[in-house]
Structure 1
């Protein structure tokens, strides 16, 4: 990963967030992680726009282990890697002790597994959960 990181943390009104920019496979990638009272929002873009919007949440059962659901709200519905990306993030949020759902926006030029893996790493470095 080629990083040109400019990470900042803002915790004052209206929303606590971290933002950073990195270069992944020659594409400038902007990542913003926001913490609202009732959910997290992660925005990732190489296009300068929102792209596909996903909603991910943990569903708890009484007698079974929790399950995780990820649904596409708007955008590319035929991208299983984006759903897997959302699932990895909501699982990480859950395993870190939070039950807040996640709204994820992904606008990428490169949807390869390597790119998504690097983005997950950047998001986890800048997490707010």
Structure 2
């Protein structure tokens, strides 16, 4: 898994904090966008250039629910672990 530092960018806090970067996971270029809104965090991970399946998750005691969009060619556990690892490394919350 290699993060392309040339593609990584972040935007100021207004209107929303956002980080965009790409990495290769199991041979597929994966674009990841992390946006931290006032009331939730949104993560878009795509290998197909589209949003794909959208999921909503929240836990007791966590202040911001997660909205997750996965547009993947490869739905294997290795791909999902790579995405989770990259998001945790780059998190905005």
Question: TM-score normalised to the size of structure 1?
Answer: 0.66
Higher mean C-alpha displacement, 3-12 vs 35-44: 3-12
Whole-Å Cα distance in 2 between the matches of residues 102 and 29 of structure 1? Answer: 19
Select the structure with the greater relative contact order (CA < 8 A; seq sep ≥ 6).
Answer: 1
The answer to which structure has the higher strand fraction is: 2
Task: Report matched runs for 1:1-129 at 5 Å.
Answer: 1-5=1-5, 6-59=7-60, 94=62, 99-129=63-93
Question: Is the 1:51–1:105 Cα contact (8 Å) retained in structure 2?
Answer: yes
Give unmatched runs, 5+ long, in structure 1: 61-93
From the CA coordinates, give the structure whose radius of gyration is larger: 1
Question: Is the 1:2–1:25 Cα contact (8 Å) retained in structure 2?
Answer: no
Question: Is the 1:39–1:103 Cα contact (8 Å) retained in structure 2?
Answer: yes
The answer to which structure has the higher helix fraction is: 1
